[in-house]
Chain A
């Protein structure tokens, strides 16, 4: 891959249509790197490898500018006229514009979601300076940002790795799914909040894509305009839902015919508590540790017979909680969560779940269809690979 990025920060793409800027929920990085004395400005989803940016623009020095989108130019406070912090990339050589939104948690306490903190502004200034071809001591700037930017209100509401600077040690991002501290895929208006609510899930900060999806689902609790806007742009198809696909009539035969390996995998995706409960006999007290460790869960799974494990899986499949989760996952797919869910589950989704030729995630019935097709494609590929 090309040389290491000069500067990277958490940002999302935006779609721009009829004077409306619509943020794309996919968590991503905007970064600059230099190769053969040429500057590249790139954007990629956070879970994609660094060698594969979705957007890679060659920047001629002085051609591009990178500024915050502000509602009151010239005023002291730098604030976007939107519920998020938006940067605009413009070119003197063309009328093309790109919009990006900052995905790091907003640092101000007033709830002004469009307000750029000193740190936020600095990031923009560094990038703009680089685009002008200026010599920028990035180490120095980064230090200033880290030290000075912590607490416009005396509170570190921001995240420590909102911005990454290459220290020459080859900062390559090879995550295949692990997202940052408060990565969310939700509506940018809820970016800061949703990540905090994610802590309600057992108090763990999201470090895996499952939690990322959970945060996204929770962020759907707040009504979003982006959903409506997305649906207006696409022609949808009537399709079906996960609850209607995965009825007990369908799933139970699968369990009866499943291999022990498949059953074990399914068990590892259920809460360990279920297996510990199965181990308890009727006469013992039911007040053991309510938060069993994964190790305890694994031990319990191993102690059970295949039949017992199947019983537990079947019970889970029949539970109202599972049915509800199928419903909410369907809603998440329909509302733009397909790219993220596809990545979380490592599925071969066509075009990564975005509309062909663009960057908007599929929505509505089309998204569910792409999901179901993606699962089929993945299964077929695995079959082929297993036969080799």
Chain B
């Protein structure tokens, strides 16, 4: 049995440092605010991670995907000699076994298919590092469900993943509690493998091919993926769309340096510092800090004579929020109607 996987945020900084910690260098993630072909092309992405709300209650036809085609042939484990001759690489695809691991699984789906060791695309040289290469080799001959097991049992990957977990134990459960309709968020990856556009979703039985085989060399990936993503987004009610798009691309600092773009470089360095700042806080145990802040604020309030009012005001604010919630029909807690009345913003 594997150990526990905690939830992590789908944040460009988190994912970038996550893959760096796994030994993959020179690659970063960039968040895309909108599905804009130009900005995606700008980044020259090697893959895209799409995060969206996954309806668990709507029936999902599994014999045919809603868009594209299941490519079962791509599921065949590596036949070493034949693929090398064809110049084709086997597709690394793993079934998802752990809900909380799906972000990491999605980004590994792209990375392990972009290993510079056997990628024929010039523009897609990625050094995935020794640990991930070992993992890829180890799982090369496995069927996809066993690959999924191997991933969930990988101590290295799990511990790196968990090191970015939120300090709040209720992070992504908030949606479930609030709406009560049991939707979860799901990550899927899109990338070009063997000049073919693939959608890699661990909950599906096979990689999904969009367009014809060979019709999507890496250079046109950005163009080709946008309409596919648009079609996906259109499936959801317009009011409900909460999605997140992360592009995987070369380290933008390296690109700026190579282009002599000093301003761009400074911007990217600043962004990295922001990410390091956030990650430092993410991993931090705030208990001691909260204690000191509480003591300090309490001291201040006592001196001012406002301690009682401070607590009263906060209590009134909590009460108002609870009533607001009840009004909206959320809540329904455990044990005497007391819910987890803690607002996670």
Sample of 7 further A-B pairs with CB below 8 A, known A202-B163, A327-B343: A270-B284, A286-B272, A321-B167, A324-B166, A324-B167, A327-B342, A331-B169
Tell yes or no: A41 within 8 A of B by CB.
no
Can you list 16 A-B pairs, Cβ within 8 angstroms, ordered by A?
A199-B159, A201-B163, A202-B163, A214-B285, A239-B315, A243-B343, A244-B321, A254-B300, A265-B292, A271-B284, A315-B277, A321-B278, A328-B169, A331-B169, A344-B288, A345-B287
Are B338 and A240 touching (Cβ within 8 A)? no
Known: A326-B290, A327-B343. A218 touches B269 (CB 8 A): no
- List the A residue with the shortest CB-CB distance to B334: A228
Residue in contact with A331 in the complex, picked from B166, B282, B342, CB distance below 8 Å? B342
Known: A273-B280, A330-B342, A380-B302. A347 touches B291 (CB 8 A): yes
A214 to B272, CA, bound (A): 27
**Number of B residues whose C-beta is below 8 Å from A?**
65
Would you give the 0/1 interface string for B310-345, flagging 1 where the beta carbon is closer than 8 Å to chain A? 110011011101100000000000111010111111
Are A271 and B280 touching (Cβ within 8 A)? yes
**B343: A residues at CB distance < 8 A:** 241, 243, 327
Shortest CB-to-CB span from B157 to chain A, Å, is 12
Tell yes or no: B130 within 8 A of A by CB.
no
- List the B residue with the shortest CB-CB distance to A111: B1
Shortest CB-to-CB span from B165 to chain A, Å, is 7
Would you give the 0/1 interface string for B269-280, flagging 1 where the beta carbon is closer than 8 Å to chain A? 110110011101
Tell yes or no: B168 within 8 A of A by CB.
yes
Are B336 and A236 touching (Cβ within 8 A)? yes
Are A232 and B335 touching (Cβ within 8 A)? yes
- List the B residue with the shortest CB-CB distance to A200: B162
A233 to B332, CA, bound (A): 19
Shortest CB-to-CB span from B325 to chain A, Å, is 13
A230 to B266, CA, bound (A): 54
Tell yes or no: B3 within 8 A of A by CB.
yes
Are A325 and B290 touching (Cβ within 8 A)? yes
A285 to B253, CA, bound (A): 10
**A238: B residues at CB distance < 8 A:** 315, 318-319, 322
**Listed stretches A61-69, A148-156, A165-173, A275-283; interface member:** A275-283
B residues touching A (Cβ–Cβ < 8 Å)? 1, 3-4, 6, 17, 159, 162-163, 165-171, 266, 269-270, 272-273, 276-278, 280-300, 302, 307, 310-311, 314-315, 317-319, 321-322, 334-336, 338, 340-345
Are B169 and A271 touching (Cβ within 8 A)? no
Are B276 and A197 touching (Cβ within 8 A)? no
Are B295 and A375 touching (Cβ within 8 A)? yes
A322 to B162, CA, bound (A): 18
Known: A203-B159, A217-B167, A285-B269. A244 touches B317 (CB 8 A): yes
Would you give the 0/1 interface string for A190-220, flagging 1 where the beta carbon is closer than 8 Å to chain B? 0001001101111100000011011001101
**B340: A residues at CB distance < 8 A:** 331, 334
Are A228 and B292 touching (Cβ within 8 A)? no
**B269: A residues at CB distance < 8 A:** 282, 285-286
Residue in contact with B341 in the complex, picked from A193, A230, A241, A345, CB distance below 8 Å? A241
**B289: A residues at CB distance < 8 A:** 266, 269-270, 316, 322
A193, A220, A250 — which one has the most chain B CB atoms within 10 A of its CB? A250
Are B287 and A210 touching (Cβ within 8 A)? yes
**B166: A residues at CB distance < 8 A:** 324
**B318: A residues at CB distance < 8 A:** 238-241, 244
**Number of A residues whose C-beta is below 8 Å from B?**
85
Shortest CB-to-CB span from B78 to chain A, Å, is 32
Are A345 and B291 touching (Cβ within 8 A)? yes
- List the B residue with the shortest CB-CB distance to A373: B311
A258 to B297, CA, bound (A): 9
Are B338 and A236 touching (Cβ within 8 A)? yes
Are A321 and B292 touching (Cβ within 8 A)? no
Residue in contact with A240 in the complex, picked from B162, B307, B315, B344, CB distance below 8 Å? B315
- List the A residue with the shortest CB-CB distance to B158: A200
Within 8 A of B (CB), among A362-384: 364-365, 372, 375-376, 378-380, 383
Known: A227-B334, A231-B336. A327 touches B168 (CB 8 A): yes
Are B295 and A378 touching (Cβ within 8 A)? yes
B167, B272, B293, B311 — which one has the most chain A CB atoms within 10 A of its CB? B293
**B4: A residues at CB distance < 8 A:** 193, 197, 221-222
Are B315 and A202 touching (Cβ within 8 A)? no
Shortest CB-to-CB span from A25 to chain B, Å, is 15
A375 to B292, CA, bound (A): 10
Are B171 and A193 touching (Cβ within 8 A)? no
Are A344 and B287 touching (Cβ within 8 A)? yes
Would you give the 0/1 interface string for A156-186, flagging 1 where the beta carbon is closer than 8 Å to chain B? 0000000000000000000000000000000
A341 to B287, CA, bound (A): 8
Are A376 and B280 touching (Cβ within 8 A)? no
A196 to B165, CA, bound (A): 15
CB-CB nearest 7 A-B residue pairs = A231-B335, A325-B286, A273-B280, A345-B291, A321-B281, A200-B162, A269-B289
Shortest CB-to-CB span from B3 to chain A, Å, is 6
Residue in contact with B290 in the complex, picked from A111, A231, A329, CB distance below 8 Å? A329
Are A324 and B344 touching (Cβ within 8 A)? yes
Shortest CB-to-CB span from B172 to chain A, Å, is 11
**A341: B residues at CB distance < 8 A:** 287
Would you give the 0/1 interface string for A255-273, flagging 1 where the beta carbon is closer than 8 Å to chain B? 0011000100110011101
A384 to B30, CA, bound (A): 54
- List the A residue with the shortest CB-CB distance to B159: A200
